[in-house]
């Protein structure tokens, strides 16, 4: 017996037929393990990196049904809250369908829940794709970034991997209650830098990889996307990328942290505003890594074989603001999401214009937009 489903994605209703009983299919996970897929439309985060033809078909179907505005919007994520845009600005962006996600930046738990409800409602009215809602819910910053949440230990106060798991469970539970599905945590940098070091597990360098991986795995088992940051490594530079561009001189020592996290299935990596010099293969010619093809595409995607979402650090930080059209350039470099643009409407306009006029860039947008959509499908949002 066949049932019919009506899909609405802003360009009219489409009727598709599907079997009530989807045949079993054996798919390969990123680690080469066999996995049985019983349902065509029931996915979770563990499916994102799998070679699942049902999932790929669904993503392609959704992408084909949305218009160019919605496609470009998927790669843009501004922030709302104390250090983000005001609520009216975000409301206008949501109503004009120019963004695909939102960072909830500094607010109360109740306020964050209110924002999620409001913007979900506008998306439903506009027949827009649902959002990835993100937060900087690192153990050290969590209770300050979202006040009124359950108290957790700061990263430097955690004493065991069991406490890491417990902390990740508490944070993920709180995020799920709010409606946040994307956590920009953990910090996996070494501890030397005063801006980021105290926010990760680097007090004992031997703990960085296993404790970070534990936080990632626990979060993602609870259907919260975890993010390793700040690639290619912020811990061994002396300055603050919030204020100015920082430079890694020579060897990329902290890149060694990432391969195991990638093998274990971290779903997101954040790239920092870090230039690289005196490095034979990856010098960035004075550019921050966030807009460097050498770092994002050649190193992270091609050399380390990372298949998950690549998100920039905030694009209103001093480490990148001196570079013209930086949001556009971050997508050109291979990032999937440009975070907290200086001017989101302008960033959308520049990216959309290039999308419409440049066939090669259109392919670049398609790759990233489909990854974002795939993540939304795996979260059960679509």
pLDDT in tens, 9-33: 333 333 333 333 333 444 444 455 5
Tokens of residue 194, six digits: 């005063």
278 exposure class (CB count in 10 Å sphere: 0-12, 13-18, 19+): exposed
Per the CB < 8 A criterion, the answer to whether 55 and 378 are in contact is yes
pLDDT digits (tens, 9 = 90+) for 312-328: 999 999 999 999 999 99
The answer to whether residue 355 scores a pLDDT higher than 60 is: yes
* pLDDT band of 235, cuts 50, 70, 90: confident
> How far are the Cα atoms of 71, 252, 298, 346 from residue 382, in angstroms, in the given order?
15, 39, 32, 28
Of 13 and 130, which is predicted with more confidence?
Answer: 130
The answer to whether residue 240 scores a pLDDT higher than 50 is: yes
Look at residue 293 in the predicted model and tell me its pLDDT.
98
Of the candidates 338, 300, 354, the one whose C-alpha atom is nearest the C-alpha of residue 75 is 338
* pLDDT band of 104, cuts 50, 70, 90: very high
Q: What is the mean pLDDT of residues 209-235?
A: 97
* pLDDT, averaged across the chain: 91
Of 345 and 106, which is predicted with more confidence?
Answer: 345
Look at residue 40 in the predicted model and tell me its pLDDT.
53
Enumerate the CATH 3.20.20.300 domain ranges in the chain, comma separated: 68-367
In terms of residues, how long is the chain? 382
3-class SS shares of the chain: helix, strand, coil, % to 5: 40, 20, 40
Q: What is the mean pLDDT of residues 201-205?
A: 91
Q: What is the mean pLDDT of residues 206-210?
A: 97
pLDDT digits (tens, 9 = 90+) for 333-344: 999 999 999 999
SS3 59: helix
Q: Considering the domain 68-367 in this protein, what is its CATH number?
A: 3.20.20.300
Report the chain's terminal Cα–Cα distance, integer Å. 24
């Amino acid at each position: 017996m066949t049932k019919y489903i009506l899909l609405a994605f802003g360009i009219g209703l489409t009727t598709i037929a599907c079997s009530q009983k989807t045949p079993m299919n054996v798919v390969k996970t990123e680690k080469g393990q066999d996995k049985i897929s019983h349902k065509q439309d029931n996915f979770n985060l563990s499916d994102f990196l799998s070679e699942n033809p049902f999932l790929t078909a669904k993503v392609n179907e959704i992408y084909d049904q949305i218009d160019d505005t919605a496609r470009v919007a998927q790669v843009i994520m501004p922030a709302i809250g104390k250090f983000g845009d005001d609520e009216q600005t975000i409301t206008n962006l949501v109503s004009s369908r120019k963004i695909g996600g939102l960072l909830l930046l500094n607010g109360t738990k109740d306020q964050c829940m209110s924002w999620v409800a409001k913007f979900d409602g506008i998306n439903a009215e506009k027949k827009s794709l649902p959002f990835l809602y993100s937060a900087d819910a690192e153990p050290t910053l969590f209770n300050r970034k979202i006040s009124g949440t359950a108290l957790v230990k700061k990263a430097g106060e955690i004493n065991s991997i069991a406490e890491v798991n417990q902390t990740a469970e508490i944070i993920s539970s709180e995020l799920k209650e709010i409606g946040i599905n994307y956590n920009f945590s953990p910090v996996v940098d070494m501890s030397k830098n005063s801006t980021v070091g105290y926010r990760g597990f680097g007090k004992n360098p031997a703990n960085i990889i296993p404790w970070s991986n534990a936080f990632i795995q626990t979060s993602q088992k609870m259907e919260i996307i975890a993010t390793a940051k700040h690639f290619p490594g912020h811990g061994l530079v002396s300055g603050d990328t919030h204020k100015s561009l920082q430079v890694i001189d020579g060897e990329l020592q902290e890149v060694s942290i990432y391969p195991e996290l990638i093998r274990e299935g971290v779903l997101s990596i954040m790239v920092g505003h870090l230039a690289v010099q005196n490095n034979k293969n990856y010098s960035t010619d004075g550019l921050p890594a966030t807009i460097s093809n050498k770092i994002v595409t050649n190193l992270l995607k091609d050399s380390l074989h990372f298949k998950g979402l690549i998100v920039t650090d905030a694009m209103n930080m001093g480490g990148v603001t001196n570079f013209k059209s930086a949001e556009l350039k971050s997508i050109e470099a291979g990032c999937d999401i440009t975070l907290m643009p200086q001017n989101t409407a302008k960033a959308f306009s520049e990216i959309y214009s290039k999308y419409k006029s440049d066939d090669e860039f259109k392919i670049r947008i398609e790759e990233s937009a489909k990854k974002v959509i795939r993540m939304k499908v795996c979260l059960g949002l679509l």
